[in-house]
Chain A
Amino acid sequence: EDKVVQSPLSLVVHEGDTVTLNCSYEVTNFRSLLWYKQEKKAPTFLFMLTSSGIEKKSGRLSSILDKKELFSILNITATQTGDSAVYLCAVEDVRTYKYIFGTGTRLKVLA
């Protein structure tokens, strides 16, 4: 059965810290891995990764995919209180177009 596992489940840091969120997957028909940020509403898109080893970057956020070891990480540097959210990882099944979501990592950044 396809699954996506995120760790840690929750994390509390102070402003300015750097955090690394993990996402591992077992999905037979992998097409892409996506990261989302969710506050008190629907998730907002951060990154889509399809190729191994190519880092995607947006401001203080970056992400990379390892298709051999079947995982991805999301890094957030110089965290701010506005980064507090649930970060969701999803893997897309190339046959069905479905997204399989992980459990999410709940990040809280303290001032």
Chain B
Amino acid sequence: GAVVSQHPSWVICKSGTSVKIECRSLDFQATTMFWYRQFPKQSLMLMATSNEGSKATYEQGVEKDKFLINHASLTLSTLTVTSAHPEDSSFYICSGAQGYEQYFGPGTRLTVT
């Protein structure tokens, strides 16, 4: 149980375009979802905490207007990278929280050209 999916698993987009990444909890309801970013050979960095039905809470240094998060239901959160630039290229991972435990999605590799 406790499976989280992400879609797409990888995406290539042109600079200036927007990209939406979906995170779904498949077999549980996640009132809280977390979004992480991971640069090559670095650890996971928490970007934001997403709570169903309310605005996301962003970590310091993360631009909320650039990384739009919507948590419209108990099983779906989306991250939209707006006006993407090459420096946004990264591995984006979401997790769904069930109680105190987080279950990670498989990640989305974004490459901005």
Q: Which of A11-19, A41-49, A71-79 contacts B (4 or more CB under 8 A)?
A: A41-49
**Residues of A contacting B104 in the complex (Cβ-Cβ under 8 angstroms):** 42-45
Count A/B pairs, Cβ under 8 Å.
Answer: 44
**Residues of B contacting A32 in the complex (Cβ-Cβ under 8 angstroms):** 100
Task: Give CA–CA (A99, B46) in the complex, Å.
Answer: 8
Contact string against B for A residues 79-103, beta-carbon threshold 8 Å, 1 for contact and 0 otherwise: 0000000001010100011111111
Task: Give CA–CA (A69, B81) in the complex, Å.
Answer: 41
The yes or no answer to B32 lying at the interface (CB within 8 A) is yes
User: What's the minimum C-beta distance from A74 to chain B, rounded to whole angstroms?
Assistant: 15
Task: Give CA–CA (A45, B100) in the complex, Å.
Answer: 14
Which residues 33-65 in B have Cβ within 8 Å of A in the complex?
Answer: 34, 41-46, 49
What does DSSP make chain A's interface, helix, strand, loop or mixed?
strand
Whether A101 pairs with B106 at a CB distance below 8 angstroms is: no
Whether B106 pairs with A42 at a CB distance below 8 angstroms is: yes
Determine the interface band of chain B, counting residues with CB < 8 A from chain A: 10 to 19
Task: Give CA–CA (A16, B105) in the complex, Å.
Answer: 32
Residue of A nearest to B59 (CB): A98
Determine the interface band of chain A, counting residues with CB < 8 A from chain B: 20 to 34
Whether A103 pairs with B43 at a CB distance below 8 angstroms is: yes
Whether B44 pairs with A43 at a CB distance below 8 angstroms is: yes
Whether B46 pairs with A31 at a CB distance below 8 angstroms is: no
User: What's the minimum C-beta distance from B30 to chain A, rounded to whole angstroms?
Assistant: 11
Which residues 21-44 in A have Cβ within 8 Å of B in the complex?
Answer: 31-32, 41-44
Given A41-B106, A42-B105, A97-B100 contact (CB < 8 Å): yes
User: What's the minimum C-beta distance from B87 to chain A, rounded to whole angstroms?
Assistant: 21
Q: What are 18 A-B contacts with C-beta separation under 8 Å? A: A31-B100, A41-B107, A42-B104, A42-B105, A42-B107, A43-B93, A44-B104, A45-B104, A88-B44, A97-B49, A97-B97, A98-B34, A98-B49, A99-B34, A103-B42, A104-B42, A104-B43, A106-B41
